[in-house]
Amino acid sequence: MSSVYREIAHNGLWKQNAGLAQLLGLCPVLAVSSTVVNGLGLGLATTLVTALSGAAVAAVRHLVPNEIRNPVFILIIAALVTVVDLSMNAWAHDLYNVLGIFIPLIVTNCIVLARAEAFASKHPVREAAWDGLMMGLGLTGVLIALGALREVCGRGTLFAGLDMLFGPAAKTWVWHLVPAEWNYQFLLALLPPGAFLGLALLIAGKNLLDERARQRALRQKTVTQEVSA
Amino acid sequence: MKTALTQARRSALTLLAFAVVASAILASTYWLTRDTVLANEHAAKLALLQQVLPSDYDNQPLSDTVALSPVEAKRLGHDQPAVIHLARRQGQVVAYAFETVAPNGYSGKIRLLLGVDAQGQLLGVRVVSHKETPGLGDYIDLAKSDWAQQFTGQSWQGPAAAVGYWKVKKDGGAFDYMTGATISARAVTSCVGRAVAWLDEWKQKANR
């Protein structure tokens, strides 16, 4: 049982990572990843929705005839996002002020529908919720990495604006890698082309690591074969 | 033929059932959250008003308002009825607060709240809502940078009455902007200039 969950976690966080391997939901990823705090905000909101929609879709999967499953899933996801939007506006207003602009973006994120279709419609509720959580966290990781890359290259800071998520105490968490009075700015990194270039670098990095791991596994296999021979 | 029809009917009914359930959930969530959302918005509005008003008024500016005529509201960029809030001390108006809309932001309208004292000096400019690019054009928002502070203390007098004053420095005006996101700053700056000029005119016309 636990190996199933470990497999799902590995898939979501690394192997099938939404941002780096499946390349799903790139519109919000590219648009919002200009700083760490934006990436973190969108990532957390997406994680909430993918986990909830995974559970909801899995719960009704036996009631939905196959040929109309997509409209039903879209209906569920859109209703869920609106419920999250309204509830956050009412009961977590400070957080809503920060994440509010990201939440409508999530409906356009095809990762939510893709996981509903590919995973949640075929698995029990708990596994589907776990899958949504891990897919969301994997995407959050990519968003933070891309946000950090663009923030450092584009403005010479890291963790600017975290006080929007963690309260005024976080104002001092900003790192100025370039002295603030220089007014350093590198527009290419901040504008959309920077998002494409940054994402390409991250994907290349992941492929490099995967290739190394494959080579290592291959070498180990030949070594054990030689030993046993 | 008959089975296909039965199947189609079954699909349609299932879809209908899901649509009804989803609508019911949405309606009940809306109904449950409506009052809290309204209270939050009211509190946020009051807190916002307090940011652009002096601290020494003794009335309720949120309800002490003068309705603007449709023509006046249109000059401020509103397509709906608008009001101007009055802050008084012992019955004397000490400051005005009102919203204005810049129609020409980078991605749509930018709603601004202005506070102006009785002498016509700007007490503060706050962005109420905008759709500018996160991380790029959103520096007009005080939560992101103190760019909007440069309007405090400005007024429609002396050099500021000249045509070219209420522009960003790139266009020969008097106000700072950030490279790469000039459009947002340009929209806010000219809108604030128009609004301050409008208030001067309105006060003379209404004899306040």
Which ipTM score applies to this complex? Answer: 0.72
Q: How many domains does chain B have?
A: 2
| DSSP annotation string for A84-103 | HHHHHHHH-HHHHHHHTTTH
Element containing residue A71 per DSSP (H, E): helix A69-91
Mean pLDDT of all residues in A33-62: 88
Residue that wins the pLDDT comparison between A164 and A132: A132
Q: Are residues B44 and B59 in the same domain?
A: no
Q: Are residues B70 and B13 in the same domain?
A: no
Q: Which domain holds residue B26?
A: 1-52
pLDDT per residue over B89-128, tens digit each? 998 899 999 999 999 999 889 999 999 998 888 999 999 8
Q: Do residue A90 and residue B14 have CB atoms under 8 angstroms apart?
A: no
Q: Do residue B135 and residue A93 have CB atoms under 8 angstroms apart?
A: no
Q: Are residues B89 and B185 in the same domain?
A: yes
Q: Do residue B134 and residue A101 have CB atoms under 8 angstroms apart?
A: yes
Q: Are residues B85 and B13 in the same domain?
A: no
Give the model's pLDDT for residue A29. 82
Mean pLDDT of all residues in A120-136: 92
Say if pTM beats, i.e. exceeds, 0.80. no
| DSSP annotation string for A109-157 | -HHHHHHHHHTGGGS-HHHHHHHHHHHHHHHHHHHHHHHHHHHHHHHSE
C-alpha A193: how far from its chain's center?
20
pLDDT per residue over A81-96, tens digit each? 888 888 888 887 777 8
Report the greatest alpha carbon distance in chain B.
Answer: 84
Q: Are residues B139 and B108 in the same domain?
A: yes
Q: Do residue B33 and residue A64 have CB atoms under 8 angstroms apart?
A: no
Mean pLDDT of all residues in A158-181: 77
Q: Write down which residue in B21, B37, B52 finishes a domain.
A: B52
Q: Are residues B101 and B178 in the same domain?
A: yes
Give the model's pLDDT for residue A229. 64
Indicate whether B132 pLDDT > 60: yes
pLDDT per residue over B13-37, tens digit each? 999 999 999 999 999 999 999 999 8
Q: Are residues B194 and B103 in the same domain?
A: yes
Indicate whether A188 pLDDT > 90: no
Q: Are residues B31 and B62 in the same domain?
A: no
CA dihedral sign, ordered A195, A201, A205, A206: positive
Q: Are residues B59 and B5 in the same domain?
A: no
DSSP state of B118: T
Give the model's pLDDT for residue A1. 54
Instruction: Tell me whether A197 touches chain B (CB under 8 Å).
Output: no
Provide the chain A residues 15-74 that lie in CB contact (below 8 A) with chain B.
31-32, 34-35, 38, 60, 63-65, 67-68, 71-72
